[in-house]
Chain A
Protein backbone atom coordinates (compact mmCIF):
# COMPACT_ATOMS: atom_id res chain seq x y z
CA UNK A 1 0.00 0.00 0.00
CA UNK A 2 1.43 3.39 -0.91
CA UNK A 3 1.68 6.14 1.68
CA UNK A 4 -0.74 9.07 1.53
CA UNK A 5 0.56 12.38 0.26
CA UNK A 6 0.12 14.18 3.60
CA UNK A 7 2.92 12.18 5.22
CA UNK A 8 6.38 13.73 5.08
CA UNK A 9 8.42 11.73 2.53
CA UNK A 10 10.88 10.41 5.15
CA UNK A 11 7.96 9.25 7.30
CA UNK A 12 6.32 7.64 4.28
CA UNK A 13 9.55 5.77 3.56
CA UNK A 14 9.70 4.57 7.18
CA UNK A 15 6.05 3.54 6.97
CA UNK A 16 6.83 1.35 3.97
CA UNK A 17 9.46 -0.54 5.96
CA UNK A 18 6.98 -1.60 8.62
CA UNK A 19 5.14 -4.88 8.18
CA UNK A 20 1.43 -5.44 8.76
CA UNK A 21 0.41 -5.84 12.40
CA UNK A 22 3.81 -4.96 13.85
CA UNK A 23 4.22 -3.56 17.37
CA UNK A 24 5.56 -0.05 16.87
CA UNK A 25 6.93 2.63 19.20
CA UNK A 26 7.29 6.08 17.64
CA UNK A 27 9.66 8.16 19.76
CA UNK A 28 9.00 11.85 19.17
CA UNK A 29 5.78 11.07 17.35
CA UNK A 30 4.72 14.71 16.93
CA UNK A 31 1.01 15.07 16.23
CA UNK A 32 0.77 11.35 15.52
CA UNK A 33 0.47 11.53 11.70
CA UNK A 34 2.79 8.58 11.07
CA UNK A 35 1.41 6.51 13.93
CA UNK A 36 -2.18 7.07 12.84
CA UNK A 37 -1.23 6.16 9.26
CA UNK A 38 0.38 2.94 10.49
CA UNK A 39 -2.61 2.04 12.66
CA UNK A 40 -5.06 2.69 9.81
CA UNK A 41 -3.18 1.10 6.92
CA UNK A 42 -0.88 -1.47 8.53
CA UNK A 43 -3.01 -2.26 11.59
CA UNK A 44 0.01 -1.94 13.80
CA UNK A 45 -0.18 -1.93 17.59
CA UNK A 46 1.22 1.56 17.91
CA UNK A 47 2.56 3.59 20.85
CA UNK A 48 4.17 7.00 20.98
CA UNK A 49 6.31 9.26 23.13
CA UNK A 50 6.10 13.00 22.58
CA UNK A 51 7.47 16.02 24.40
CA UNK A 52 4.85 18.64 23.54
CA UNK A 53 1.58 18.70 25.47
CA UNK A 54 -0.35 20.09 22.47
CA UNK A 55 0.94 17.27 20.29
CA UNK A 56 0.10 14.63 22.90
CA UNK A 57 -3.44 16.01 23.07
CA UNK A 58 -3.71 15.81 19.29
CA UNK A 59 -2.56 12.19 19.48
CA UNK A 60 -5.02 11.30 22.26
CA UNK A 61 -7.85 12.82 20.24
CA UNK A 62 -6.77 10.62 17.32
CA UNK A 63 -7.14 7.61 19.57
CA UNK A 64 -3.42 6.95 19.80
CA UNK A 65 -1.70 5.66 22.94
CA UNK A 66 0.88 8.38 23.47
CA UNK A 67 2.81 9.23 26.59
CA UNK A 68 4.11 12.71 27.23
CA UNK A 69 7.79 12.24 27.83
CA UNK A 70 11.36 12.73 26.81
CA UNK A 71 13.52 10.37 24.76
CA UNK A 72 16.49 11.29 26.95
CA UNK A 73 14.90 10.18 30.21
CA UNK A 74 11.89 7.95 29.59
CA UNK A 75 13.23 5.20 27.34
CA UNK A 76 14.80 3.52 30.37
CA UNK A 77 11.30 2.57 31.52
CA UNK A 78 10.54 0.38 28.52
CA UNK A 79 11.35 -3.32 28.77
CA UNK A 80 13.67 -5.00 26.27
CA UNK A 81 12.57 -6.27 22.87
CA UNK A 82 8.85 -5.56 23.31
CA UNK A 83 8.49 -3.69 20.03
CA UNK A 84 9.04 -5.00 16.50
CA UNK A 85 9.87 -1.50 15.30
CA UNK A 86 11.05 1.60 17.10
CA UNK A 87 11.01 4.84 15.11
CA UNK A 88 13.02 7.97 15.82
CA UNK A 89 12.55 10.53 13.07
CA UNK A 90 14.55 13.76 12.91
CA UNK A 91 15.05 13.70 16.67
CA UNK A 92 18.37 12.09 17.60
CA UNK A 93 20.31 15.28 16.83
CA UNK A 94 18.15 17.12 19.39
CA UNK A 95 18.71 14.67 22.26
CA UNK A 96 21.15 15.32 25.08
CA UNK A 97 22.73 11.88 24.95
CA UNK A 98 22.37 10.45 21.44
CA UNK A 99 24.51 7.38 22.19
CA UNK A 100 22.36 6.41 25.20
CA UNK A 101 19.17 7.03 23.24
CA UNK A 102 20.45 4.81 20.45
CA UNK A 103 21.38 2.06 22.92
CA UNK A 104 17.87 2.16 24.41
CA UNK A 105 16.24 2.06 20.98
CA UNK A 106 18.27 -1.01 20.04
CA UNK A 107 17.35 -2.61 23.36
CA UNK A 108 13.61 -1.88 23.13
CA UNK A 109 13.01 -2.69 19.45
CA UNK A 110 13.97 -5.61 17.26
CA UNK A 111 14.31 -3.12 14.38
CA UNK A 112 15.07 0.57 14.70
CA UNK A 113 14.29 3.14 12.00
CA UNK A 114 16.15 6.42 12.48
CA UNK A 115 16.05 9.43 10.19
CA UNK A 116 18.44 12.32 10.67
CA UNK A 117 19.79 15.40 8.89
CA UNK A 118 23.29 15.21 7.38
CA UNK A 119 25.73 17.86 8.55
CA UNK A 120 28.14 16.56 5.93
CA UNK A 121 25.97 17.73 3.03
CA UNK A 122 27.94 19.80 0.52
CA UNK A 123 25.84 22.93 1.12
CA UNK A 124 26.66 22.79 4.82
CA UNK A 125 30.34 22.23 4.10
CA UNK A 126 30.42 25.03 1.52
CA UNK A 127 28.49 27.40 3.75
CA UNK A 128 31.01 27.05 6.54
CA UNK A 129 34.03 27.05 4.20
CA UNK A 130 33.06 30.14 2.23
CA UNK A 131 30.82 32.01 4.63
CA UNK A 132 32.91 31.42 7.74
CA UNK A 133 29.75 31.23 9.84
CA UNK A 134 27.71 28.36 11.31
CA UNK A 135 25.78 26.94 8.38
CA UNK A 136 22.09 27.71 7.95
CA UNK A 137 20.53 25.65 5.20
CA UNK A 138 16.99 24.83 4.19
CA UNK A 139 17.18 21.52 6.03
CA UNK A 140 18.93 23.07 9.05
CA UNK A 141 17.52 26.57 9.27
CA UNK A 142 18.38 27.60 12.82
CA UNK A 143 20.93 30.07 14.12
CA UNK A 144 23.66 28.52 16.24
CA UNK A 145 22.28 30.13 19.40
CA UNK A 146 18.69 28.95 19.17
CA UNK A 147 18.94 25.59 17.45
CA UNK A 148 17.35 22.56 19.14
CA UNK A 149 19.85 20.47 17.16
CA UNK A 150 22.56 20.27 19.78
CA UNK A 151 24.18 17.08 18.49
CA UNK A 152 24.43 17.35 14.73
CA UNK A 153 26.49 14.77 12.88
CA UNK A 154 27.35 13.62 9.41
CA UNK A 155 26.01 10.36 8.02
CA UNK A 156 29.49 8.83 8.42
CA UNK A 157 29.54 9.91 12.08
CA UNK A 158 26.23 8.22 12.65
CA UNK A 159 27.31 5.02 10.91
CA UNK A 160 30.32 4.93 13.24
CA UNK A 161 28.14 5.45 16.31
CA UNK A 162 25.71 2.75 15.24
CA UNK A 163 28.50 0.21 14.73
CA UNK A 164 30.24 1.16 17.97
CA UNK A 165 26.97 0.31 19.71
CA UNK A 166 26.71 -3.08 18.11
CA UNK A 167 24.13 -2.24 15.48
CA UNK A 168 23.80 -3.88 12.09
CA UNK A 169 22.71 -1.47 9.36
CA UNK A 170 20.17 -3.33 7.27
CA UNK A 171 19.26 -0.41 5.04
CA UNK A 172 20.25 3.18 4.41
CA UNK A 173 18.09 5.52 2.33
CA UNK A 174 19.31 8.92 1.21
CA UNK A 175 17.03 11.94 1.54
CA UNK A 176 17.43 14.65 -1.10
CA UNK A 177 15.32 17.77 -1.56
CA UNK A 178 12.60 16.50 0.79
CA UNK A 179 12.23 13.22 -1.04
CA UNK A 180 13.66 9.76 -0.70
CA UNK A 181 16.45 9.17 -3.22
CA UNK A 182 16.66 5.45 -2.62
CA UNK A 183 18.97 2.91 -1.03
CA UNK A 184 22.63 3.74 -0.63
CA UNK A 185 25.61 1.91 0.84
CA UNK A 186 26.13 3.33 4.32
CA UNK A 187 29.92 3.23 3.95
CA UNK A 188 30.17 5.05 0.64
CA UNK A 189 31.36 8.66 0.75
CA UNK A 190 28.87 9.86 -1.89
CA UNK A 191 25.73 10.15 0.24
CA UNK A 192 27.69 11.84 3.00
CA UNK A 193 28.20 14.74 0.59
CA UNK A 194 25.13 14.53 -1.60
CA UNK A 195 22.33 13.60 0.81
CA UNK A 196 20.58 16.15 3.02
CA UNK A 197 19.65 13.36 5.36
CA UNK A 198 19.15 9.64 5.62
CA UNK A 199 16.99 6.92 7.07
CA UNK A 200 18.81 4.01 8.66
CA UNK A 201 17.23 0.69 9.47
CA UNK A 202 19.19 -0.87 12.30
CA UNK A 203 19.06 -3.89 14.55
CA UNK A 204 21.14 -5.15 17.41
CA UNK A 205 23.84 -7.55 16.26
Chain B
Protein backbone atom coordinates (compact mmCIF):
# COMPACT_ATOMS: atom_id res chain seq x y z
CA UNK B 1 0.00 0.00 0.00
CA UNK B 2 1.50 3.28 -1.05
CA UNK B 3 0.35 6.84 -0.85
CA UNK B 4 1.07 9.27 -3.65
CA UNK B 5 -0.14 12.51 -5.07
CA UNK B 6 -2.99 11.91 -7.50
CA UNK B 7 -1.08 11.77 -10.79
CA UNK B 8 -3.96 12.07 -13.21
CA UNK B 9 -7.61 11.72 -13.72
CA UNK B 10 -9.13 9.27 -16.06
CA UNK B 11 -10.00 10.37 -19.54
CA UNK B 12 -11.00 13.17 -20.22
CA UNK B 13 -10.44 14.47 -16.76
CA UNK B 14 -7.26 16.41 -16.40
CA UNK B 15 -6.50 19.99 -15.65
CA UNK B 16 -2.94 21.16 -15.24
CA UNK B 17 -2.28 23.01 -12.02
CA UNK B 18 -5.47 22.02 -10.24
CA UNK B 19 -5.20 20.33 -6.86
CA UNK B 20 -5.77 16.74 -7.80
CA UNK B 21 -5.76 15.46 -4.23
CA UNK B 22 -4.06 12.38 -2.91
CA UNK B 23 -4.32 8.69 -3.69
CA UNK B 24 -3.75 5.59 -1.61
CA UNK B 25 -2.94 2.47 -3.63
CA UNK B 26 -3.92 -0.87 -2.13
CA UNK B 27 -1.85 -3.70 -3.54
CA UNK B 28 -2.43 -7.43 -3.80
CA UNK B 29 -1.93 -7.77 -0.04
CA UNK B 30 -4.97 -5.55 0.61
CA UNK B 31 -7.83 -6.68 -1.62
CA UNK B 32 -11.27 -5.08 -1.21
CA UNK B 33 -13.77 -7.86 -0.48
CA UNK B 34 -17.03 -7.00 -2.22
CA UNK B 35 -20.63 -7.96 -1.41
CA UNK B 36 -21.00 -9.57 -4.84
CA UNK B 37 -18.45 -12.20 -3.79
CA UNK B 38 -15.59 -10.94 -5.89
CA UNK B 39 -12.73 -8.90 -4.61
CA UNK B 40 -11.09 -5.90 -6.16
CA UNK B 41 -7.31 -5.83 -6.30
CA UNK B 42 -5.30 -3.77 -6.79
CA UNK B 43 -7.34 -0.63 -6.24
CA UNK B 44 -6.88 3.03 -5.42
CA UNK B 45 -8.80 5.59 -3.40
CA UNK B 46 -8.48 9.26 -4.31
CA UNK B 47 -9.24 11.70 -1.52
CA UNK B 48 -8.86 15.24 -0.24
CA UNK B 49 -8.18 16.44 3.28
CA UNK B 50 -8.73 19.83 4.90
CA UNK B 51 -7.51 21.07 8.27
CA UNK B 52 -5.12 19.34 10.63
CA UNK B 53 -5.38 16.02 12.43
CA UNK B 54 -4.84 16.67 16.15
CA UNK B 55 -2.33 14.76 18.26
CA UNK B 56 -5.00 12.47 19.72
CA UNK B 57 -6.39 11.82 16.21
CA UNK B 58 -9.81 12.56 17.63
CA UNK B 59 -10.98 15.36 15.33
CA UNK B 60 -11.36 13.57 11.99
CA UNK B 61 -14.61 13.98 10.07
CA UNK B 62 -15.36 11.84 7.03
CA UNK B 63 -17.65 13.46 4.48
CA UNK B 64 -19.39 11.04 2.14
CA UNK B 65 -20.35 12.36 -1.29
CA UNK B 66 -23.50 11.79 -3.31
CA UNK B 67 -24.05 9.86 -6.58
CA UNK B 68 -22.16 12.21 -8.89
CA UNK B 69 -20.12 13.94 -6.21
CA UNK B 70 -16.40 13.63 -5.63
CA UNK B 71 -13.64 14.32 -3.13
CA UNK B 72 -13.53 18.04 -3.95
CA UNK B 73 -15.92 18.98 -1.16
CA UNK B 74 -14.30 22.32 -0.42
CA UNK B 75 -11.87 22.99 -3.22
CA UNK B 76 -11.99 23.83 -6.89
CA UNK B 77 -13.02 20.99 -9.16
CA UNK B 78 -10.04 20.15 -11.41
CA UNK B 79 -12.21 19.60 -14.49
CA UNK B 80 -14.97 22.18 -14.20
CA UNK B 81 -13.06 24.80 -12.20
CA UNK B 82 -16.17 25.21 -10.03
CA UNK B 83 -15.85 25.71 -6.27
CA UNK B 84 -16.22 22.70 -3.95
CA UNK B 85 -19.67 21.13 -3.90
CA UNK B 86 -20.13 21.85 -0.18
CA UNK B 87 -18.05 25.01 0.08
CA UNK B 88 -20.70 26.72 2.19
CA UNK B 89 -20.63 23.85 4.70
CA UNK B 90 -16.92 22.98 4.91
CA UNK B 91 -14.04 25.36 5.52
CA UNK B 92 -12.43 27.67 8.09
CA UNK B 93 -15.17 29.01 10.35
CA UNK B 94 -17.85 27.12 8.41
CA UNK B 95 -20.35 24.76 10.10
CA UNK B 96 -17.89 21.90 9.52
CA UNK B 97 -15.00 24.03 10.69
CA UNK B 98 -11.65 23.02 9.22
CA UNK B 99 -9.93 25.18 11.86
CA UNK B 100 -11.17 22.61 14.39
CA UNK B 101 -11.69 19.43 12.44
CA UNK B 102 -9.62 17.33 10.06
CA UNK B 103 -11.95 16.72 7.14
CA UNK B 104 -11.51 13.76 4.81
CA UNK B 105 -13.52 13.27 1.64
CA UNK B 106 -12.83 10.26 -0.57
CA UNK B 107 -14.10 9.44 -4.03
CA UNK B 108 -16.28 6.30 -3.77
CA UNK B 109 -15.39 2.93 -5.25
CA UNK B 110 -16.85 2.69 -8.77
CA UNK B 111 -16.61 6.43 -9.40
CA UNK B 112 -14.35 8.18 -11.86
CA UNK B 113 -12.32 10.88 -10.10
CA UNK B 114 -9.24 8.84 -9.29
CA UNK B 115 -10.72 6.03 -7.21
CA UNK B 116 -10.87 2.70 -9.01
CA UNK B 117 -13.97 2.33 -11.16
CA UNK B 118 -15.12 0.82 -14.45
CA UNK B 119 -13.08 3.31 -16.53
CA UNK B 120 -9.82 2.12 -14.94
CA UNK B 121 -7.56 -0.38 -16.65
CA UNK B 122 -8.12 -3.96 -15.54
CA UNK B 123 -4.62 -5.26 -14.75
CA UNK B 124 -5.74 -8.76 -15.78
CA UNK B 125 -6.55 -7.73 -19.35
CA UNK B 126 -4.72 -4.45 -19.85
CA UNK B 127 -8.02 -2.99 -21.08
CA UNK B 128 -10.58 -0.79 -19.28
CA UNK B 129 -12.78 -2.77 -16.91
CA UNK B 130 -16.00 -1.46 -18.46
CA UNK B 131 -18.74 -3.97 -17.56
CA UNK B 132 -16.20 -6.46 -16.21
CA UNK B 133 -15.94 -4.18 -13.19
CA UNK B 134 -17.68 -5.91 -10.28
CA UNK B 135 -21.01 -4.57 -9.02
CA UNK B 136 -20.34 -2.52 -5.90
CA UNK B 137 -22.65 -1.65 -3.01
CA UNK B 138 -22.92 1.13 -0.46
CA UNK B 139 -21.38 -1.29 2.05
CA UNK B 140 -18.43 -1.87 -0.30
CA UNK B 141 -17.90 1.90 -0.52
CA UNK B 142 -17.88 2.13 3.26
CA UNK B 143 -15.56 -0.87 3.59
CA UNK B 144 -13.13 0.89 1.25
CA UNK B 145 -13.38 4.08 3.32
CA UNK B 146 -12.53 2.10 6.47
CA UNK B 147 -9.44 0.77 4.68
CA UNK B 148 -8.49 4.35 3.78
CA UNK B 149 -8.76 5.33 7.44
CA UNK B 150 -6.55 2.38 8.37
CA UNK B 151 -4.02 3.60 5.83
CA UNK B 152 -4.19 7.11 7.31
CA UNK B 153 -3.72 5.70 10.82
CA UNK B 154 -7.10 6.99 12.02
CA UNK B 155 -8.87 4.58 14.32
CA UNK B 156 -11.99 6.56 15.22
CA UNK B 157 -13.85 9.28 13.37
CA UNK B 158 -15.30 12.18 15.28
CA UNK B 159 -18.12 12.25 12.77
CA UNK B 160 -19.31 10.85 9.49
CA UNK B 161 -21.52 13.22 7.51
CA UNK B 162 -23.22 12.95 4.14
CA UNK B 163 -26.27 13.82 2.08
CA UNK B 164 -28.26 11.63 -0.32
CA UNK B 165 -26.09 8.62 -1.23
CA UNK B 166 -23.57 10.08 1.23
CA UNK B 167 -26.26 9.78 3.89
CA UNK B 168 -26.73 6.11 3.01
CA UNK B 169 -23.01 5.67 3.63
CA UNK B 170 -23.28 7.33 7.05
CA UNK B 171 -26.03 4.86 8.01
CA UNK B 172 -23.89 1.99 6.77
CA UNK B 173 -21.01 3.33 8.85
CA UNK B 174 -23.21 3.31 11.94
CA UNK B 175 -24.28 -0.26 11.19
CA UNK B 176 -20.89 -1.68 10.13
CA UNK B 177 -18.42 0.24 12.29
CA UNK B 178 -20.32 1.79 15.24
CA UNK B 179 -17.19 1.67 17.40
CA UNK B 180 -15.14 3.61 14.83
CA UNK B 181 -17.31 6.75 14.80
CA UNK B 182 -18.90 9.02 17.41
CA UNK B 183 -21.37 11.29 15.60
CA UNK B 184 -23.42 10.26 12.56
CA UNK B 185 -25.22 12.82 10.38
CA UNK B 186 -27.39 11.39 7.61
CA UNK B 187 -28.91 14.22 5.56
CA UNK B 188 -31.73 13.88 3.00
CA UNK B 189 -31.41 10.13 2.67
CA UNK B 190 -33.09 6.82 3.43
CA UNK B 191 -32.26 3.39 4.77
CA UNK B 192 -33.50 1.92 1.51
CA UNK B 193 -33.96 3.03 -2.06
CA UNK B 194 -37.66 3.26 -2.89
CA UNK B 195 -39.36 1.71 -5.92
CA UNK B 196 -39.80 5.19 -7.41
CA UNK B 197 -36.10 5.96 -6.98
CA UNK B 198 -35.08 2.65 -8.55
CA UNK B 199 -37.45 3.49 -11.40
CA UNK B 200 -35.81 6.85 -12.07
CA UNK B 201 -32.38 5.26 -11.98
CA UNK B 202 -33.45 2.62 -14.47
CA UNK B 203 -34.64 5.34 -16.84
CA UNK B 204 -31.18 6.90 -16.61
CA UNK B 205 -29.39 3.62 -17.19
CA UNK B 206 -31.57 2.73 -20.14
CA UNK B 207 -30.86 6.15 -21.67
CA UNK B 208 -27.11 5.48 -21.45
CA UNK B 209 -27.37 1.93 -22.78
CA UNK B 210 -29.62 3.05 -25.65
CA UNK B 211 -26.92 5.42 -26.87
CA UNK B 212 -25.18 3.69 -29.84
CA UNK B 213 -21.90 5.16 -28.61
CA UNK B 214 -22.19 3.13 -25.41
CA UNK B 215 -21.02 0.05 -27.39
CA UNK B 216 -22.13 -2.48 -24.79
CA UNK B 217 -20.15 -0.56 -22.18
CA UNK B 218 -16.92 -0.87 -24.17
CA UNK B 219 -16.94 2.70 -25.51
CA UNK B 220 -13.40 3.46 -24.35
CA UNK B 221 -11.95 0.77 -26.63
CA UNK B 222 -14.04 2.16 -29.49
CA UNK B 223 -12.96 5.74 -28.84
CA UNK B 224 -16.54 6.88 -28.36
CA UNK B 225 -18.52 8.28 -25.44
CA UNK B 226 -22.26 7.84 -24.82
CA UNK B 227 -22.64 11.54 -24.09
CA UNK B 228 -26.19 11.82 -25.38
CA UNK B 229 -27.43 8.98 -23.22
CA UNK B 230 -25.57 10.20 -20.16
CA UNK B 231 -26.95 13.71 -20.67
CA UNK B 232 -30.51 12.40 -20.85
CA UNK B 233 -29.89 10.35 -17.69
CA UNK B 234 -28.70 13.49 -15.95
CA UNK B 235 -31.65 15.53 -17.19
CA UNK B 236 -34.16 13.01 -15.86
CA UNK B 237 -32.33 12.69 -12.57
CA UNK B 238 -32.00 16.44 -12.18
CA UNK B 239 -35.77 16.86 -12.16
CA UNK B 240 -35.92 14.58 -9.12
CA UNK B 241 -33.42 16.79 -7.30
CA UNK B 242 -35.71 19.82 -7.53
CA UNK B 243 -39.33 20.38 -6.59
CA UNK B 244 -42.36 21.35 -8.58
CA UNK B 245 -42.68 24.56 -6.57
CA UNK B 246 -39.05 25.54 -7.18
CA UNK B 247 -39.30 24.77 -10.91
CA UNK B 248 -42.43 26.89 -11.14
CA UNK B 249 -40.83 29.71 -9.15
CA UNK B 250 -37.58 29.72 -11.16
CA UNK B 251 -38.84 28.96 -14.66
CA UNK B 252 -42.61 28.93 -14.83
CA UNK B 253 -43.59 28.83 -18.51
CA UNK B 254 -40.99 31.44 -19.40
CA UNK B 255 -39.67 31.24 -22.95
CA UNK B 256 -35.98 31.02 -23.73
CA UNK B 257 -34.60 33.81 -25.94
CA UNK B 258 -37.82 34.24 -27.87
CA UNK B 259 -41.04 36.18 -27.76
CA UNK B 260 -43.39 33.46 -28.94
CA UNK B 261 -43.66 29.70 -29.29
CA UNK B 262 -41.62 28.44 -32.25
CA UNK B 263 -43.92 25.61 -33.30
CA UNK B 264 -40.81 23.46 -33.53
CA UNK B 265 -38.97 21.10 -31.18
CA UNK B 266 -36.00 23.31 -30.41
CA UNK B 267 -36.14 24.39 -26.76
CA UNK B 268 -38.90 26.98 -26.36
CA UNK B 269 -39.02 27.00 -22.59
CA UNK B 270 -36.37 28.08 -20.13
CA UNK B 271 -36.75 24.84 -18.21
CA UNK B 272 -35.79 22.92 -21.35
CA UNK B 273 -32.63 24.99 -21.87
CA UNK B 274 -31.79 24.61 -18.21
CA UNK B 275 -32.03 20.81 -18.37
CA UNK B 276 -30.04 20.70 -21.61
CA UNK B 277 -27.33 22.72 -19.90
CA UNK B 278 -27.36 20.38 -16.89
CA UNK B 279 -26.96 17.37 -19.17
CA UNK B 280 -24.29 18.93 -21.37
CA UNK B 281 -22.03 20.06 -18.52
CA UNK B 282 -22.41 16.78 -16.67
CA UNK B 283 -20.97 14.60 -19.45
CA UNK B 284 -17.72 16.58 -19.35
CA UNK B 285 -17.04 15.49 -15.80
CA UNK B 286 -18.58 12.07 -15.38
CA UNK B 287 -18.11 8.58 -16.77
CA UNK B 288 -21.20 6.82 -18.11
CA UNK B 289 -20.33 3.38 -16.78
CA UNK B 290 -19.60 4.86 -13.36
CA UNK B 291 -23.11 6.29 -13.50
CA UNK B 292 -24.49 2.79 -14.15
CA UNK B 293 -22.52 1.24 -11.31
CA UNK B 294 -23.21 3.88 -8.68
CA UNK B 295 -26.94 4.12 -9.40
CA UNK B 296 -27.06 0.33 -9.05
CA UNK B 297 -25.28 0.55 -5.70
CA UNK B 298 -27.99 2.93 -4.48
CA UNK B 299 -30.76 0.68 -5.83
CA UNK B 300 -29.32 -2.27 -3.91
CA UNK B 301 -29.22 -0.35 -0.64
CA UNK B 302 -31.67 -1.66 1.95
CA UNK B 303 -30.08 -1.59 5.35
CA UNK B 304 -32.94 -3.45 7.04
CA UNK B 305 -32.51 -6.42 4.71
CA UNK B 306 -29.17 -7.22 6.35
CA UNK B 307 -31.04 -7.50 9.66
CA UNK B 308 -33.95 -9.75 8.70
CA UNK B 309 -36.06 -6.74 7.78
CA UNK B 310 -35.70 -5.03 11.15
CA UNK B 311 -34.03 -1.69 10.56
CA UNK B 312 -33.79 -1.05 14.29
CA UNK B 313 -31.50 -4.08 14.66
CA UNK B 314 -28.92 -2.32 12.47
CA UNK B 315 -28.46 0.13 15.33
CA UNK B 316 -28.92 -2.08 18.39
CA UNK B 317 -26.71 -0.94 21.31
CA UNK B 318 -25.36 1.84 19.11
CA UNK B 319 -22.97 4.13 21.01
CA UNK B 320 -23.33 6.77 18.28
CA UNK B 321 -25.05 10.13 18.45
CA UNK B 322 -27.25 10.69 15.41
CA UNK B 323 -28.59 13.87 13.87
CA UNK B 324 -30.88 13.38 10.89
CA UNK B 325 -31.95 16.24 8.63
CA UNK B 326 -34.69 16.17 5.98
CA UNK B 327 -36.26 18.82 3.76
CA UNK B 328 -39.99 19.39 3.35
CA UNK B 329 -39.97 19.53 -0.47
CA UNK B 330 -37.57 16.60 -1.02
CA UNK B 331 -39.57 13.97 -2.92
CA UNK B 332 -36.54 11.81 -3.74
CA UNK B 333 -35.76 11.14 -0.07
CA UNK B 334 -38.88 12.48 1.62
CA UNK B 335 -39.18 13.25 5.30
CA UNK B 336 -41.08 10.00 5.88
CA UNK B 337 -38.02 7.95 4.82
CA UNK B 338 -35.69 10.01 7.01
CA UNK B 339 -38.11 9.74 9.89
CA UNK B 340 -38.25 5.99 9.46
CA UNK B 341 -34.56 5.94 10.36
CA UNK B 342 -35.20 8.19 13.38
CA UNK B 343 -37.98 5.87 14.53
CA UNK B 344 -35.74 2.82 14.18
CA UNK B 345 -33.13 4.58 16.28
CA UNK B 346 -35.75 5.53 18.86
CA UNK B 347 -36.85 1.92 19.03
CA UNK B 348 -33.40 0.88 20.23
CA UNK B 349 -33.08 3.97 22.43
CA UNK B 350 -30.18 5.37 20.43
CA UNK B 351 -29.32 9.04 20.88
CA UNK B 352 -31.02 10.63 17.90
CA UNK B 353 -32.09 14.10 16.90
CA UNK B 354 -34.19 14.75 13.84
CA UNK B 355 -34.84 18.07 12.11
CA UNK B 356 -37.10 18.73 9.14
CA UNK B 357 -36.20 21.94 7.35
CA UNK B 358 -38.83 23.93 5.51
CA UNK B 359 -37.73 24.76 1.96
CA UNK B 360 -39.09 24.57 -1.60
CA UNK B 361 -35.67 23.65 -3.04
CA UNK B 362 -36.26 19.90 -3.09
CA UNK B 363 -33.60 17.25 -2.60
CA UNK B 364 -30.81 19.61 -3.73
CA UNK B 365 -31.49 21.77 -0.67
CA UNK B 366 -28.74 19.91 1.18
CA UNK B 367 -26.19 21.39 -1.25
CA UNK B 368 -27.62 24.90 -1.11
CA UNK B 369 -27.73 27.88 1.21
CA UNK B 370 -30.04 26.62 3.96
CA UNK B 371 -29.22 28.55 7.15
CA UNK B 372 -31.30 26.21 9.34
CA UNK B 373 -29.23 23.27 8.09
CA UNK B 374 -25.98 25.10 8.81
CA UNK B 375 -27.20 25.98 12.32
CA UNK B 376 -28.20 22.39 12.95
CA UNK B 377 -24.86 20.98 11.77
CA UNK B 378 -22.86 23.54 13.74
CA UNK B 379 -24.93 23.08 16.88
CA UNK B 380 -24.81 19.30 16.71
CA UNK B 381 -21.05 19.11 16.13
CA UNK B 382 -20.40 21.64 18.91
CA UNK B 383 -22.53 19.72 21.38
CA UNK B 384 -20.93 16.35 20.53
CA UNK B 385 -17.46 17.93 20.74
CA UNK B 386 -18.31 19.31 24.17
CA UNK B 387 -19.79 16.01 25.36
CA UNK B 388 -16.87 13.96 24.06
CA UNK B 389 -14.21 16.45 25.07
CA UNK B 390 -12.92 16.99 21.53
CA UNK B 391 -11.25 20.21 20.35
Assess whether A65 is interfacial by the CB under 8 Å rule.
yes
Assess whether B245 is interfacial by the CB under 8 Å rule.
no
Cβ–Cβ contact B379 & A68, under 8 A: no
Contact among A47, A60, A79 for B383, CB-based, below 8 A: A60
Assess whether A77 is interfacial by the CB under 8 Å rule.
yes
- Nearest CB in chain A: distance from B135 CB, A: 34
- Nearest CB in chain B: distance from A78 CB, A: 6
Tell me the count of chain B residues lying within 8 A, CB to CB, of chain A.
Answer: 27
Contact among A60, A61, A63, A77 for B346, CB-based, below 8 A: A77
B contact face: mostly helix, strand, loop, or mixed: helix
CA A81 to CA B347, docked complex, whole Å: 11
Cβ–Cβ contact B354 & A67, under 8 A: yes
Cβ–Cβ contact A77 & B357, under 8 A: no
Cβ proximity bits A81-114 to B, threshold 8 Å, 1 near / 0 not: 0100000000000000000000000000000000
Assess whether B138 is interfacial by the CB under 8 Å rule.
no
Assess whether A41 is interfacial by the CB under 8 Å rule.
no
CA A62 to CA B387, docked complex, whole Å: 10
Q: In chain A, residues 40-67, which have Cβ atoms closer than 8 Å to a Cβ of chain B?
A: 45, 47, 53, 56-57, 59-67
Cβ–Cβ contact B358 & A65, under 8 A: no
Contacts of B376 in A (CB 8 A): 57, 60
Contacts of B351 in A (CB 8 A): 47, 65
Task: Please judge, given known A-B contacts A60-B323, A60-B379, A63-B386, whether A68 and B356 are in contact too, CB under 8 Å.
Answer: yes
Assess whether B292 is interfacial by the CB under 8 Å rule.
no
Cβ–Cβ contact B355 & A68, under 8 A: yes
CA A178 to CA B357, docked complex, whole Å: 34
Cβ–Cβ contact B383 & A77, under 8 A: no
Assess whether B306 is interfacial by the CB under 8 Å rule.
no
- Nearest CB in chain B: distance from A45 CB, A: 8
Assess whether A9 is interfacial by the CB under 8 Å rule.
no
Cβ–Cβ contact A57 & B358, under 8 A: no
Cβ–Cβ contact A53 & B343, under 8 A: no
Contacts of A62 in B (CB 8 A): 379, 383
Contacts of A79 in B (CB 8 A): 347
Task: Please judge, given known A-B contacts A53-B355, A57-B375, A57-B376, whether A67 and B342 are in contact too, CB under 8 Å.
Answer: yes
CA A65 to CA B318, docked complex, whole Å: 14
- Nearest CB in chain A: distance from B319 CB, A: 13
Contacts of A67 in B (CB 8 A): 342, 346, 352-354
Task: Please judge, given known A-B contacts A53-B357, A57-B375, A78-B347, whether A63 and B387 are in contact too, CB under 8 Å.
Answer: yes
Contacts of A47 in B (CB 8 A): 346, 351
Contacts of B339 in A (CB 8 A): 69
A-to-B contact residues, CB < 8 Å: 23, 45, 47, 53, 56-57, 59-69, 74, 77-79, 82
Which 8 residue pairs of A and B lie closest in terms of their CB atoms, listed nearest first? A61-B379, A63-B383, A77-B343, A67-B354, A65-B351, A60-B353, A60-B379, A56-B355
Residue contacts A-B, CB under 8 angstroms, 27 given:
A47-B351, A53-B355, A53-B372, A56-B354, A56-B355, A60-B353, A60-B355, A60-B379, A60-B380, A60-B383, A61-B378, A61-B379, A61-B380, A62-B383, A63-B382, A64-B353, A64-B383, A65-B321, A66-B353, A66-B354, A67-B342, A67-B353, A68-B354, A68-B356, A77-B343, A77-B346, A78-B346
